[in-house]
Structure 1
């Protein structure tokens, strides 16, 4: 029998090639326009979703996957011969998906060893946790060690993101904290953060009038993180994600590579589920310790030993 399966909800935005390569199961998240329920896979081209959002007379809302959909995926894992599973979800700080996954996992506890894992983030932040876990599972790493690695990976994960307008986060009620800033945010570019080592909620931390100013703020606050990792001989992985803003995303990636050439830098998307809340043109800057550290030739996990020293608990 196979050992450990990794399940994600679609807001991790892992591309189809990696889903297939690492045998990751995906639960398709719902997006609702008026009375019609869509799913993220209904927009293979991300730009099509933002075009529909712009043209819609009623703005979209979101919901967690149904319990039935989660149970169906778990049953598929069992039918495929897996003995264990980890469901990696979007942050419980702004979605009920984790609780749904937890409830579903409890129902199947007598059939396989299964854990619901709260990534405390979304997009590539959750996707990279899942990719690390899936690679570990393929390498034959035991269940508890995968969970330990997930805990370490999550502790080093952090994000800044900038939205073109605060109105969508206000409309959907996903903005917490930083309430003193909100009154002045409507006409400028708010910079937000997710408290990945607390409840995984969104906080407004700064504001700039232009995206160029937002980048300067991010670079200023990210540079000490790079220096800390550099001093300890560890590499960072950065994911620049965007809500149909490829030009700005490419610009940020180029600046990142030029300023910190040792980093692993990749591009991702802010897909429909998250885009409902951020609106079009948002850009995110997500980072964590590079998960490649776990995978030397013998998979001894030699990179594990120092990661705990510089998680983001005291940022």
Structure 2
């Protein structure tokens, strides 16, 4: 039975207790303001990112971890572990997963098994939490990967973008589209499809958009029963808590977390965004 380590990247935005677990290692992506790159979570917290974002005229950019970072992590883990399950944000929006696989092939003394979460943020983190738990209980690689693939069947997330101006600045909307959409109070609802973040619906007003996403969650809960959910926010903790309370009142037996869009994902969605994600647990 292999002694298994779990590796993920910073876009899982794991709670602190998971980051401190002995068998979990987090490899950071970076946010770049001007000529300065910051590793998110370690050098740039979510709060610090949004504070900097408000002061900048130009949007930051993001970058995946360098190959050498993964090589160093795997070589270090080889001292204590026989195998690694490396769980990463969707390969459709970042090359991080492929870089992790390439690094695994370059390291001797430890077997690296990649898992493409096909999603990001706390739903990605749920895979990490489950893999870590199973590894600690002595499950083997095949059982853990099978469980993660089973979880994929019920994992979903929807994001409500607050600012069309932000999408325009990022080159995702023309100026005319952003202007008209803002005048009409359009709130795009996005989700992951075929590993990429794509439009799901355009809804007028945030209230209606949130109701739409909550209805989707209610449908999933009625079908799958035991789900774990998270409300994800981009610098809107009070709103996230309000949404969580509303969900908890309707589903008192479910575990519902509050998590954040950190710097990397926040760069692409924009401050003020709200998301809801879930999976079977």
- TM-score normalized by structure 1? 0.82
Report how many aligned residue pairs link the two structures.
275
What displacement does 1:18 show? 1.5
Partner in structure 1 of residue 102 of structure 2: 103
Q: Which of 233, 236, 247 is the equivalent residue of 1:245?
A: 236
Partner in structure 2 of residue 113 of structure 1: 111
**Inter-CA distance 220–184: structure 2 relative to 1 (3 Å threshold):** farther
SS in 1 for 2:82: strand
What displacement does 1:183 show? 9.2
What aligned pairs does 1:138-287 form with structure 2 within 5 A after superposition? Answer: 138-169=136-167, 171-172=169-170, 185-186=181-182, 187-195=185-193, 199-230=194-225, 235-287=226-278
What displacement does 1:222 show? 2.3
Gaps of 5+ in 2: none
Q: RMSD value over aligned CA atoms? A: 2.1
**Inter-CA distance 184–133: structure 2 relative to 1 (3 Å threshold):** farther
Report the Cα distance in structure 2 between the residues aligned to 1:173 and 1:129, rounded to whole angstroms. Answer: 32
SS in 2 for 1:88: strand
Report the Cα distance in structure 1 between the residues aligned to 2:23 and 2:171, rounded to whole angstroms. Answer: 35
Report the Cα distance in structure 2 between the residues aligned to 1:157 and 1:174, rounded to whole angstroms. Answer: 26
Residue pair 1:9, 1:28 contacting (<8 A) in 2 also? yes
What displacement does 1:224 show? 2.0
Report the Cα distance in structure 1 between the residues aligned to 2:12 and 2:244, rounded to whole angstroms. Answer: 20
What displacement does 1:43 show? 2.3
Report the Cα distance in structure 2 between the residues aligned to 1:22 and 1:264, rounded to whole angstroms. Answer: 24
Report the Cα distance in structure 1 between the residues aligned to 2:74 and 2:151, rounded to whole angstroms. Answer: 24
Deviations 1:6-39 (A, max 9, x none): 0011110112322223531111111111111111
Report the Cα distance in structure 2 between the residues aligned to 1:68 and 1:172, rounded to whole angstroms. Answer: 29
Report the Cα distance in structure 1 between the residues aligned to 2:101 and 2:81, rounded to whole angstroms. Answer: 18
Deviations 1:31-77 (A, max 9, x none): 11111111102223x22211101111321001111001111111111
Report the Cα distance in structure 1 between the residues aligned to 2:180 and 2:118, rounded to whole angstroms. Answer: 27
Residue pair 2:7, 2:25 contacting (<8 A) in 1 also? yes
Deviations 1:171-190 (A, max 9, x none): 54689xxxxx9896455211
What displacement does 1:131 show? 0.7
Gaps of 5+ in 1: 176-180, 291-315
Report the Cα distance in structure 1 between the residues aligned to 2:179 and 2:92, rounded to whole angstroms. Answer: 23
